[in-house]
Amino acid sequence: MSFPNFVGFAIDPTTSPKIPKNLYTGLFPGNSHYLLHLCDPLLLYDTVMIRSDYWTLKFLYSNFACEELEPLLNAERIKFFAVMCETSSAWPCLNVSIGSTSKDYLKCLHDSFLAISQNTKSHSYLRSDANKIVNQIEKYSVTKQAINIESCKILKNRLRDSFFEAFGDNISYYHEKGFLDGIGMILDIWSTGTLALHLDSELEFYFSKVVKVPEKIKNNLFSSGMTIIDEFNSIGNLPSLKEAILLEKLDSKDIFNIILSDESFKLREWIKKNYSPNLDVRDCYFKTLQKLPSKSSWLNWLRFGTTSTLSISLGFILSSSPALAALLGLSIGAADLAFGTQTTKKLFDSYHPKEWIGFIETKYQNSNN
C-alpha cells in the first residue's frame, strides 16, 4: 500500500464523515463534523491539501478560528490551493492554465466573507474576521498551479458519459452534480502536482461504479490509496482520535496538539513502514517474540506462571479480552525473565504503537482532571 506524503482532500463538507461501525454514535457534537473528516488524513499524511473555494472555506472557518488552524498551517500539515477551472462550478475561479492564488481571487473571498459577517440575520457565522481569513489563505497557499483546461473539459465529458452508462435513469440531478463537482475537486488537486486523493464516501461510491475511465486517469485515481483511511481504522487495538472526538473527550485544540506531536509523527512513520492487511497492534508483540532465540526454552517459563503486574497491565491495554491480556502479559514477562529485562523492547524498532496507546491514554486522563 502506498503512503504518499501529500494528499488532496476531495470532500464535500456537508457529506457525513465516515465512522467505523464500532464508534458510530449517531451524533456529531460541536464542530466535530469537519474535524472528523480531517483527523485521520492528518494522522496518516504529512500534508493535507484543501481547496480554497468559498463553500469549503465557509465550513472550515465557521468551525475553526484562524488561531486554531495557525499551528497546523505553520507546520505545513495543511496547505490551500485555488480552483483552477470551471469543471465543478466552484467559486471563485482562476480560470487560467498556469497561475497561483491571485489578488482578484482573494478579493472575491474577502468580499464574500465580509458579507457573511455583516449579515446579522444570517445563521452562518465565521470564527474570524474576513481580513484574518484571507491573509491566512494567501500566506499558506501553494505558489504555483498548472492545468490544461481543454483537456479537463474532455475528461469531464468522458467521465460524465461513463457515469450515466453506469447508473442509467436511476440517478438524480443531485447525484450528477455531486459526481461532476467531485471531478472538479480532483482536477484542481492534480493541478498542484498532488495525485493522491482522500475522497469522501459519496465520491468513493461513484468511482467504484464508473468503470469506463481512461486507463491513465484510472491508474492515477485508483492507485492513489482511496481506502487507506478504512484500512488504517481497521488496525486492531489502536486508539482512535475519532472516538475521542465523538465522545467529546478532547476538544479541537487537544486534537490538533496531538496531530502536531512527536508521537503522531512516529506513528505515521511506523505505519508507513510496517502496515500489513488486518494488522493488530498485539501481533507486533507476538511477531517479535517469535524472533527470540530458543523459543522453546522461554516458553517453559509460562508453565511456572512467571509474570509481573506490569506485563499483565500492558496486556490489558493492548487487548479488550482478559484471557488474551493475561496470555500476552505472561508471554512478555516470560521472555524478559528468560533473556533479560526489556528484551522484547530491544528487539523492536525505535518506535512501537504501544507508545501511541500510552500517549493517548495520558491525554484522556488529563482532559478529565
DSSP string, 309-321: HHHHHHHHHH-S-
Closest CA to 203 of 7, 4, 1, 10: 10
Q: Clarify whether residues 221 and 320 are in a common domain.
A: no
Cell digits for 21? 461501525
Q: Clarify whether residues 108 and 233 are in a common domain.
A: yes
Q: Clarify whether residues 253 and 313 are in a common domain.
A: no
Residue 211: pLDDT band with limits 50, 70, 90: low
Whether residue 182 contacts residue 199, with contact meaning beta carbons closer than 8 Å, is answered with yes
Q: What is the pLDDT of residues 100-158, one digit of tens each?
A: 889 999 999 999 999 887 765 554 588 899 999 999 999 999 998 988 888 888 888 88
Q: Which residue, 219, 240, 269, sits at the end of a domain?
A: 269
Phi, psi of 344 (to 5 degrees): -65, -40
Of residues 83 and 33, the one with the higher pLDDT is 83
Residue located via cell numbers 459577517: 117
Residue 170: pLDDT band with limits 50, 70, 90: confident
Residue 80: pLDDT band with limits 50, 70, 90: very high
Give the DSSP per-residue string, 230-247: HHHHTSBT---HHHHHHT
The dihedral through the CA atoms of 122, 126, 128, 130 has a sign that is negative
Q: Is residue 149 part of a domain?
A: yes
Strand boundaries in the chain, DSSP class E: 6-10, 47-51, 78-81, 98-99, 145-146, 197-199
pLDDT computed for residue 288 by the predictor:
54
The dihedral through the CA atoms of 297, 299, 304, 310 has a sign that is positive
Of residues 230 and 286, the one with the higher pLDDT is 230
Give the DSSP per-residue string, 169-209: TS--HHHHHHHHHHHHHHHHHHTTT---EEE-HHHHHHHHH
Max mean pLDDT range (145-154, 283-292, 352-361): 145-154
Phi, psi of 52 (to 5 degrees): -95, 50
Distance between CA atoms of residues 347 and 366, nearest Å: 31
Whether residue 32 contacts residue 243, with contact meaning beta carbons closer than 8 Å, is answered with no
CA distances to 73, 215, 247, 258, 355 from 254, rounded to whole Å, are 16, 43, 14, 6, 18
Q: For residue 161, give the 3-state DSSP assignment.
A: helix
> What is the count of structural domains for the chain?
2
Of residues 291 and 363, the one with the higher pLDDT is 363
Q: Picking from 171-175, 285-289, 313-317, which range would have the lowest pLDDT averaged per residue?
A: 313-317
pLDDT, the chain, mean: 74
pLDDT computed for residue 294 by the predictor:
46
Q: Is residue 275 part of a domain?
A: no
Residue 218: pLDDT band with limits 50, 70, 90: low
pLDDT computed for residue 234 by the predictor:
67
**Segment 311-336 mean pLDDT:** 47
Q: What is the pLDDT of residues 229-249, one digit of tens each?
A: 777 766 666 777 887 787 777
Of residues 25 and 79, the one with the higher pLDDT is 79
Q: CB burial class (10 A; 0-12, 13-18, 19+) of residue 13?
A: middle
Q: What is the pLDDT of residues 4-51, one digit of tens each?
A: 888 899 988 888 887 767 666 666 656 677 888 888 889 889 999 999
Q: Is residue 1 part of a domain?
A: no
Q: Clarify whether residues 209 and 168 are in a common domain.
A: yes
Q: Is the pTM of this model over 0.85?
A: no
**Segment 169-192 mean pLDDT:** 85
Judged against a pLDDT cut of 90, whether residue 330 lies above it is answered with no
Segments forming the whole domain that contains residue 123: 6-269
Judged against a pLDDT cut of 50, whether residue 344 lies above it is answered with no
Judged against a pLDDT cut of 60, whether residue 290 lies above it is answered with no
pLDDT computed for residue 301 by the predictor:
40
Closest CA to 126 of 33, 67, 61: 61
The secondary structure of residue 141, as a DSSP letter, is B
Of residues 196 and 316, the one with the higher pLDDT is 196
Q: Which residue, 269, 304, 326, sits at the end of a domain?
A: 269
CA distances to 45, 186, 218 from 207, rounded to whole Å, are 22, 12, 10
Q: Is residue 205 part of a domain?
A: yes
Distance between CA atoms of residues 96 and 341, nearest Å: 64
Q: Clarify whether residues 39 and 80 are in a common domain.
A: yes
Count of residues making up the chain = 369
Q: Clarify whether residues 56 and 137 are in a common domain.
A: yes
Residue 269: pLDDT band with limits 50, 70, 90: confident
Residue 231, C-beta contacts closer than 8 angstroms, at least 6 positions apart? 1, 275, 277
Q: Which residue, 235, 269, 303, sits at the end of a domain?
A: 269
Q: Is residue 195 part of a domain?
A: yes
Q: Clarify whether residues 201 and 319 are in a common domain.
A: no
Q: Clarify whether residues 56 and 162 are in a common domain.
A: yes
Q: Is residue 154 part of a domain?
A: yes
Residue located via cell numbers 473571498: 109
Q: Clarify whether residues 351 and 211 are in a common domain.
A: no
